Structure 1
Amino acid sequence: MTFDLNACIRRLESAQARQNDAFTLAAGGRSRPVGGGYAHFRGIGHPLNQALGLVDSITEADLAAIEAFLGTPTVLELSPAADPSLWLLLARRGYRLGQFQQLLVREVPEGAFPDSDWDVSPVGSSECDLQGRVVGAGFAERDDWRTFQPPFSLPADVPRCLRYLVRVAGEPAGGATLGWVDDVALLSGDAVLPGFRGRGLQKRLIQARLREAARLGCRVACASTLPSTPSQRSYEACGFRVAYPKVEMVKD
Structure 2
Amino acid sequence: MNTELLKRLAHAETTAHARYGKTGETARFGPLTAVHAGPDLPVDTGWHNGTRPFTPTELEEFEAFSLRHAQPTTLHLLSAFASPVLPMLRERSYALDYVLHVYIHDLSGNFAWQPADIREEQADAWATLAAQGFGLGTEKIMMVVGHAPGTQLFVADVNGTPAATAALSVTEGIAAFHGTATLPKFRGRGLQTALLAHRLQGAAAAGASLASVFVTPGTGSERNVERAGFRLVGARLTLTRRG
For the criterion TM > 0.5, the same-fold answer is yes
Counterpart among 168, 172, 177 of residue 167 in structure 2: 177
Name the counterpart of 2:105: 106
For structure 1, which runs of at least 5 residues remain unmatched after alignment?
A: 143-147
Give the structure with the higher percent helix: 2
Q: Is the 8 A contact 1:35 1:53 kept in 2?
A: no
| 1:177-228: CA deviation from partner (whole Å, max 9, x where unpaired) | 1000122111111111111010110011111111111111211110001111
Q: Is the 8 A contact 2:127 2:146 kept in 1?
A: no
Name the counterpart of 1:42: 37
Q: Is the 8 A contact 2:123 2:147 kept in 1?
A: no
Aligned length: 237
Name the counterpart of 2:65: 69
Distance in 2, matches of 1:31 and 1:236, equals 34
Report the CA distance between 1:37 and its aligned residue: 4.2
| 1:38-60: CA deviation from partner (whole Å, max 9, x where unpaired) | 11111233221111134222222
Q: Is the 8 A contact 2:98 2:237 kept in 1?
A: yes
Q: Which runs of 4+ in 1 moved over 6 A?
A: none
User: AA paired with 2:115?
Assistant: D
Q: Is the 8 A contact 1:50 1:75 kept in 2?
A: yes
TM-score by length of 1: 0.87
CA-atom RMSD, angstroms?
1.9
Distance in 1, matches of 2:237 and 2:82, equals 14
Judged with a 3 Å threshold, the aligned counterparts in structure 2 of structure 1 residues 13 and 67 are, in CA distance, closer, same or farther, namely same
Name the counterpart of 2:218: 228
Counterpart among 126, 132, 136 of residue 127 in structure 2: 132
SS in 2 for 1:227: coil
Report the CA distance between 1:156 and its aligned residue: 5.5
TM-score by length of 2: 0.90
Distance in 1, matches of 2:35 and 2:66, equals 7
Residues 4-153 of structure 1: matches in 2 within 5 Å? Answer: 5-25=2-22, 28-55=23-50, 56-71=52-67, 72-82=71-81, 84-114=83-113, 116-123=114-121, 127-140=122-135, 150-152=139-141, 153=143
Name the counterpart of 1:166: 156
Q: Is the 8 A contact 2:7 2:49 kept in 1?
A: no
Distance in 2, matches of 1:159 and 1:5, equals 29
Q: Is the 8 A contact 1:103 1:222 kept in 2?
A: yes
Name the counterpart of 1:145: none
Judged with a 3 Å threshold, the aligned counterparts in structure 2 of structure 1 residues 39 and 150 are, in CA distance, closer, same or farther, namely same
User: AA paired with 2:46?
Assistant: A
